[in-house]
Amino acid sequence: MEQNQHLQEQTTTTPKVNPNKLKSYLAQVESEQNLPLAVVAGITAAIITAILWAVVTVATGYQIGYMAIAVGFLVGFAVRFLGKGLKPVFGIIGAICALLGCALGNAFSVIGQLANVADMPYLQAFGELAPVLPQMITGSFQPIDLLFYGIALFVGYSYSFRELTEEELAANVVD
């Protein structure tokens, strides 16, 4: 009985990829890419995660570097989900937006902490501190931030691409 099953497994052929179906499917997938929507998704995710970063920082009183990794992941996921991209430009968008989210997260954190110290509303603090914000951010920057920003860039880039599953490929390119 085991030998018959083993023989059946040996005679089962590996599915063959149809080059015409593959070409057609890849053209369809590429047509679904949406670069403008990827940019909007990346920027929106960067702003939302920056606000969350600031809320966590102000609430805890600590700058948590791991937030940068979360920014990279969420930005990359948003770019992938809405942009549906396969090309490297989608990864670049994810990386740039992740960096933007990290910088904004730091900026919003500084503003939030100073608003608390000065006992003023956040929007008022933002309006008053916006001109000196670059100096404040560079003053609060730590060398370890480079590590977390680098990881955020990597994660933002890596998670920005659409993944084609084996099931998708099998259903669309195999005879």
Beta-ladder partners of 17: 174
Tell me: the pLDDT tens digits for 13-64? Answer: 667 888 888 888 888 989 999 999 999 999 999 999 999 999 999 999 888 8
Domain-embedded: residue 21: no
Query: What is the reported pTM?
Result: 0.82
Q: What would the mean pLDDT of 63-92 be, rounded to a whole number?
A: 94
Give tens-digit pLDDT for 109-145. 888 988 888 888 988 988 888 888 788 778 777 888 8
Residue 28 counted as domain residue: no
Show the domain range for 153: 35-167
Q: Is residue 123 packed enough to be buried (19+ CB in 10 Å), middle (13-18) or exposed (0-12)? A: exposed
Domain count, the chain: 1
Whose CA is closest to 56, among 95, 103, 114, 112?
112
- Tokens representing 98 are 């992740």
Per-residue pLDDT tens digits for 136-174: 778 777 888 889 999 999 999 999 999 888 888 888 888
- Say if 12 falls within a structural domain: no
Is 110 inside a domain boundary? yes
What count of other Cβ atoms lies within 10 Å of the Cβ of residue 89? 15
Number of H helices, E strands in the chain: 9, 0
Q: Assess whether pLDDT exceeds 70 at residue 8.
A: no
Whole-number average pLDDT of the chain: 88
Domain assignment present for 20? no
CA angle 168, 173, 175 (to 5 degrees): 125
